[in-house]
Amino acid sequence: MPARFVYWINASLDGFVETEAGEHSGVEGPEWIRIDEAVHREFNRRARAMTLSVEGRIVHDMMDPFWPDARTDESLPAYMREYGEIWTEQPKVLVSRSRTAADHNTRIIGRDEDAIDELARIRAESEGDVGVGGPSIATQLLDAGLLDELMVFTHPAVLGRGRPLFDPPPSGARPPLVLDLLEQQRWDNGVTLHRYDLRR
């Protein structure tokens, strides 16, 4: 059975993933994101279960070097150091036109039509859940018919503007996405998780 591409992301109640580019970098992130210890430990659990991660350059640059450095940063809580270990050790595919080298178990493929073909091959030859980070790569996989699951951590904030879960199609209109709910959770801080299967 082929792997499943799982797009997992933090989003606002009105479906935006950021208001400004780069606002998720650093320890704190934007004010509207509520990641306490309980939610972060769930991130850790989900990330550890992934067999591979696929990231675009922006997401990868946000993660590295912060999370590799976090492994040994005693000023950070244990659950953040744990996530640093998980991210650093996990096999990763970086999709980028500009990057030619990356550390920490990362393979680079070019960001063009050949990249999507290569991701299709990886999906066919791999097993388990493959985490997809960032709306750009997720949108390309969606339009290529390769995205299998949507896992959204929804934060109790209405942003009113910003980047949506998926980028708009380059031309024409994208058919509506019909989803089947697989799982839902909630935490005391108001964050909810919804996992959806993308109906073909």
Q: What is the CATH number of the domain that holds 125?
A: 3.40.430.10
User: Per the domain annotation, does 39 fall within a domain?
Assistant: yes
Residue 112: its pLDDT value, please? 59
> What is the predicted pLDDT for the residue at 150?
98
pTM: 0.94
Domain membership flag for residue 50:
yes
Residue 101 has what pLDDT?
84
Position 25 scores a pLDDT of 67
In a domain, 24, yes or no: no
Which among 163, 168, 166 is positioned nearest to 21, based on CA atoms? 163
Tokens representing residue 19 in the block: 């208001």
**Residue 161 lies inside a defined structural domain of this protein:** yes
- Residues (pLDDT < 70) of the chain are 25-28, 111-113
Give a yes or no: residue 126 inside a domain.
yes
Number of domains comprising the chain: 1
- Six-digit token string for 113: 């039509």
What does the pLDDT read at residue 28? Answer: 63
Q: Is residue 115 part of a domain?
A: yes
pLDDT at 99: 82
Pick from 14, 9, 16, 15: nearest CA to 35: 9
In a domain, 11, yes or no: yes
List strands edge to edge, sheet with 92-95: 106-109, 92-95, 52-56, 129-133, 4-12, 149-155, 192-198, 179-186
Give the pLDDT score at 90.
97
Provide the domain limits for residue 115.
4-19+29-198
Q: Which residue in 45, 47, 52, 200 sits closest to 126, CA to CA?
A: 52
Q: Is 192 helix (H, G, I), strand (E, B) or coil?
A: strand
Q: To the nearest 10°, report the CA torsion of 40, 42, 48, 51.
A: -110
| CB of 6 closer than 8 Å to CB of 193 | no
Instruction: Judge contact between 118 and 109, C-beta under 8 A.
Output: yes
